[in-house]
Amino acid sequence: MGANSSLLSQDSSDGSTHPAKLKLGDIPESCVALVLLYLDPPDICKLARLNRAFRAASSADFIWDAKLPPNYHHLIDEHLTNTSTNLGKHEIYARLTRPVRFDSGNKEFWLDKRTGGVCLSISSKAFNITGIDDRRYWNFIPTDESRFHTIAYLQQIWWLEVEGDVDFRFPRGTYSLLFKLRLGKFTKRPGRWASNNEGVHGWDIKPVQFQLTASDGQHAVSKCFLENMGCWEYHHVGDFVVDDENASTKIKFSLTQIDCTHTKGGLSVDSVLICPSNLVKDFRALL
């Protein structure tokens, strides 16, 4: 066993030998890194606080290369042009878990900290909304409720039509698209914010229709009645599959209710979320 036997036994004062007590700091850094490779990023970061060996091992490039999306270099080249080329993979992962704004700040993407999945949010300011310039119909309201600090609020209209699109290099996988909506709005009262459902009407007569279309021909349509008052809700539009992560995928989406036999009003429109389908439950749990 040679020199390595000193790790397994030690001489006592009476000449006998006893097993050595190994400490976490005695484990070779390369062995620690191999173990960390199989853990989720939050667990890796927790273990990195144990001691110097774990902290050093947690920064190994091969660990974080496995956590990053395969096309992460495209995301950096297209959206983080000022990022240093000398960053390690751990630093790149950490940077991409923070929201990265693009398209005049009205769209942003980030990596889910636990899974490394790419998520994307699109502000209502980026939508094409029929009547948005007429304050009799729509208003943009500043609020801390939105990650973009602004929502679109519908006063009243006959023809509801909200459209948008995004062109993005999604990693390979299945994605879901959801509209974040709420009936009613919050108004500021002395010392607090209160739900205000005044003006909410017309949503129980006909359902709204959601659509998405991908550049490769994928298409989804869904319909539902808007019912929940006073709380945000993610409405699932449909799913799409990305096979080529090196090519850009263009997604068009819409929310409509164009039955002109009645008016509708009192709708808050925050954003559209696109995320890996296995993360939808996590986002809904946050509302």
Torsions phi, psi of 87, nearest 5?
A: -65, 140
Is CATH 3.90.550.10 the right assignment for the domain spanning 118-285?
A: no
The confidence score (pLDDT) of residue 230 equals: 87
- Third-level CATH fold of 25-98: Monooxygenase (1.20.1280)
Mean pLDDT for the stretch of residues 61-75: 94
Nearest alpha carbon to residue 196 among 265, 109, 106, 255: 265
pTM score of the predicted model = 0.87
Which of these, 186, 108, 182, lies nearest to 147 by C-alpha position?
Answer: 108
| pLDDT per residue as tens digits for the range 39-53 | 999 999 998 888 888
- Looking at the DSSP assignment, which residues form a beta bridge with residue 239? 176
Residue 8 has pLDDT above 80, yes or no: no
Q: What is the pLDDT of residue 186?
A: 81
Top-confidence residue, 56 or 1? 56
Look up residue 205 and give its two tokens: 């007569």
2 falls in which pLDDT band (50, 70, 90)? Answer: very low
Please check the confidence at residue 32 and state whether its pLDDT lies above 90: no
Cα angle vertex 162, ends 159, 164, to 5°?
155
For 38, residues 6+ apart whose C-beta sits below 8 A from its C-beta are: none
pLDDT digits (tens, 9 = 90+) for 94-151: 999 999 999 999 999 999 999 999 999 999 999 999 999 999 999 999 999 999 999 9
Question: Domain limits of the chain?
Answer: 25-98, 118-285
Least confident range of 28-32, 42-46, 218-222: 28-32
Query: Residues 6 or more apart from 240 whose CB is under 8 A from it?
Result: 174, 175, 177, 212, 214, 218, 220, 249, 251
